[in-house]
Structure 1
Amino acid sequence: MTGTLLEISDLHKRYGNVEVLKGVDFTMNQGEVISIIGSSGSGKTTMLRCINMLEDFQGGTIRIDGQEIGYDSAGGVRRRKKEKDIARQRALTGMAFQQFNLFPHMTAAGNVMLGLTKVRRMSRDEARAVAEKWLDRVGLLSRVDHYPGQLSGGQQQRVAIARAIAMNPKLMLFDEVTSALDPELVNEVLQVIKGLAADGMSMLLVTHEMRFAYETSARVVFMNQGRIGEQGNPREMFHRPQTERLAEFLKNSTFN
């Protein structure tokens, strides 16, 4: 693990008059696996969506690998970057969502290949080889030519993860990737993420799977009402929370 990969400074995000992020400060090193926990509405998903510019934000800075994301703030004046530059910066991150967002008319391989051919400009043969490599990595080599409708929810989510990772991002973002799955399918997706963590991939995960966060994360961040309420080693945080709010949250969670 070397160097700072992600740096968030005084991040503010509003929807109209409602301030969702109220000055978030956060850094992450290369190779770290960090879980973000907290109640619904605490700003977890919004922070992830700001990191890869699916959401604009009104104040603060986000830097990935030293690059300021989304805006230029030289000379104290803040300007949104051009769309082509934002699109290029989005490639620094890969994101897996609650919903799988697969194209139903494309096979598993076709879904993974799309970004490789359209964005990375790979040949179809090269893209197919990369797609097969990552589908194999998530345990789906035997399903490469299956359509989403022929796959279980857990298998579809694993295709979505393979699609994001195949683009070779510097940072993977996971937004509650198990929340839309039936309970018996959750573990197969979590095992894939654990394997990627073991490989040293840099990952930021919004999750309600407390046991998973406890076992897999180098660090846990607890968000509370648009701010970071507490962060640290999962063992320290889960067994000796420093704030009343985190203690209350954990008491009401499924962690035991």
Structure 2
Amino acid sequence: MGEEVLLRARGVRKSFGNVEVLKGIDLDVRQGQVVSLIGASGSGKTTFLRCVNLLEEHDGGEILLDGDPIGYRMEGGKRRRLSEAKVSAQRARIGMVFQQFNLFPHLTAEGNIMLGLTKVLGKGAAEARDIAGHWLERVGLAERRGYYPYQLSGGQQQRVAIARAVAMQPRLLLFDEVTSALDPELVAEVLGVMQKLAESGMTMLLVSHEMLFVRDVSDRVVFLDGGQVAQAGPPKEVFGNPESERLRSFLGRMHGIFGQIA
């Protein structure tokens, strides 16, 4: 694993009205790392991911990808929003897979993957089709390339969504509770794809309530509490030696598996 810091967040703040959701988040993700964000609902996990991917505008602090500030530049001591063209170019370097699959219903599995390759990366149809086929095979859906979303199970749709994100060759891949909308029997197939991506060296920042998976796949785990980093470290340290009652209580509520994790 390289030592290069791919994603660096310093003092990231975000409010919605009078509610401060992120209260100064500091976080590093190194090249090839898998970093998992855990915490109770409302702790700021998804909001932070959305700030990284420019789906939300953070109010303060700085987020850098490859040393390049995301969304803004500091000029004369003030933050200035980048042009939409530059923001789009930055967003293309970050892939994101959502809780809901967000597939286009009028496009096949292959078509959903090809769309970004042709419209954003400017690839020809033949090349985009080859890339789509490659990634559909990688996620175990080569025989479903001509199927529409309504013809696929939830787990299959999520695997298409993952293939679509990875096909764009992002520098960083974000996962936001990607198994939460799935029936329990479909969770394993999606987690299996994510496990293989992690093993291949993909840099990943993920939010998940699948604690056993987080323990097994992560290089680093970050526990958010009330919009702040309450504890961070290797999985063995975070799960085996929780420093606060809040973390111990959170782990104890996660399907009663605290004993298994520790």
TM-score by length of 1: 0.99
The C-alpha deviation readout for 1:24-78, integer Å capped at 9, x for no partner, is 0111100000111000000000000000100011100000011100010133111
Structure-2 residue corresponding to 1:135? 136
Query: Is the aligned partner of 1:124 residue 2:125?
Result: yes
Q: After superposition, where does 1:80-91 map in structure 2 within 5 Å?
A: 80-91=81-92
Structure-2 residue corresponding to 1:173? 174
Cα distance in 1 between the residues matched to 2:138 and 2:253: 35
Structure-2 residue corresponding to 1:7? 8
Structure-1 residue corresponding to 2:50? 49
State the 4+ residue runs in structure 1 displaced beyond 3 angstroms: none
Query: Is the aligned partner of 1:224 residue 2:193?
Result: no
Residue 203 of structure 1 and its aligned partner are, at CA, apart by: 0.3
Cα distance in 2 between the residues matched to 1:130 and 1:84: 25
Structure-2 residue corresponding to 1:192? 193
Cα distance in 2 between the residues matched to 1:7 and 1:75: 22
Structure-2 residue corresponding to 1:249? 250
Structure-1 residue corresponding to 2:164? 163
| SS of corresponding position for 1:13 | strand
Cα distance in 2 between the residues matched to 1:132 and 1:145: 10
Cα distance in 2 between the residues matched to 1:17 and 1:83: 28
| SS of corresponding position for 1:78 | strand
Which consecutive residues of structure 1, in runs of 5 or more, have no partner in the other structure? none
Residue 6 of structure 1 and its aligned partner are, at CA, apart by: 0.4
Structure-2 residue corresponding to 1:102? 103
Structure-2 residue corresponding to 1:183? 184
CA RMSD of superposed structures (Å): 0.7
Structure-2 residue corresponding to 1:17? 18
**What letter matches 1:155 in structure 2?**
Q
Structure-2 residue corresponding to 1:148? 149
Residue 242 of structure 1 and its aligned partner are, at CA, apart by: 1.2
| SS of corresponding position for 1:41 | coil
Residue 105 of structure 1 and its aligned partner are, at CA, apart by: 1.0
Which consecutive residues of structure 2, in runs of 5 or more, have no partner in the other structure? none
| SS of corresponding position for 2:90 | helix
Residue 239 of structure 1 and its aligned partner are, at CA, apart by: 1.4
| SS of corresponding position for 2:23 | strand
Structure-2 residue corresponding to 1:111? 112
Cα distance in 2 between the residues matched to 1:43 and 1:177: 16
